[in-house]
Amino acid sequence: MDDAEVEEILAQCRTMTLVTNGSDGWPHATAMWFAVNDGHVTFMAYRRSQKCRNLARDDRVTCMVEAGSSYAELRGVQLRGRATEVSADQRLDVACAVAQRYSERPVDRADVARQIRARIVYSVELTGGASWDHRKLGASGPTS
């Protein structure tokens, strides 16, 4: 997919699969709400969550967003990068951007400020990725 198509799927899809590295060497995948800000994937997580413990030990992540109901419609984006905690001066703005994406009315900054007390707000510096769009293949999908 070209850059515009990648931006479109990131804007349309509401849930991202976030994969962190567990202490036992196994990937830890979780569904997350997210936003894209200035070319960075951003998300929030409770400080005591497994994903935060994993990120404190190893900041590498894979983020996947996908869409489609049948094989011929599957499309998605996989992004790799390093997740870092957002600086204190940007924390509320980034959290509000994520919250606003999932709200039908303007978010209340004071409410978001209260909600993020127990959370870490992350930004992912992207280092690579891939995308796919089965709609471009002209195939009907597996037959068995």
Considering only residues 144 and 90, tell me which one the structure prediction assigns the higher pLDDT. 90
pLDDT in tens, 18-41: 999 999 999 999 999 999 998 899
Q: Is 35 exposed, middle or buried (0-12, 13-18, 19+ CB in 10 A)?
A: buried
Question: Residue 59 above 90 pLDDT?
Answer: yes
Cα torsion 116, 87, 40, 63: sign:
negative
Cβ atoms < 10 Å from Cβ of 64:
18
Conformational region of residue 62, where left means phi above 0, alpha means psi within -120 to 50, and beta covers everything else: beta
pLDDT in tens, 86-134: 999 999 999 999 999 999 999 999 999 999 999 999 999 999 999 999 9
Q: Could you tell me the pLDDT band of residue 11, with boundaries at 50, 70 and 90?
A: very high
Question: What is the predicted pLDDT for the residue at 18?
Answer: 98
Question: Residue 73 above 50 pLDDT?
Answer: yes
Cα torsion 95, 97, 103, 105: sign:
positive
Q: Could you tell me the pLDDT band of residue 13, with boundaries at 50, 70 and 90?
A: very high
For residue 8, give the H/E element and its range: helix 3-12
13: helix, coil or strand? coil
Contact 67, 75 (CB under 8 A): yes
Question: Residue 144 above 50 pLDDT?
Answer: no
DSSP H helix total and E strand total for the chain: 4, 7
109: helix, coil or strand? helix
Q: Could you tell me the pLDDT band of residue 2, with boundaries at 50, 70 and 90?
A: very high
Question: What is the predicted pLDDT for the residue at 138?
Answer: 78
Domains defined for the chain, CATH in brackets: 3-132 (2.30.110.10)
Question: Residue 3 above 60 pLDDT?
Answer: yes
How far apart, in Å, are the Cα atoms of 120 and each of 7, 22, 35, 55, 91?
25, 18, 15, 11, 9
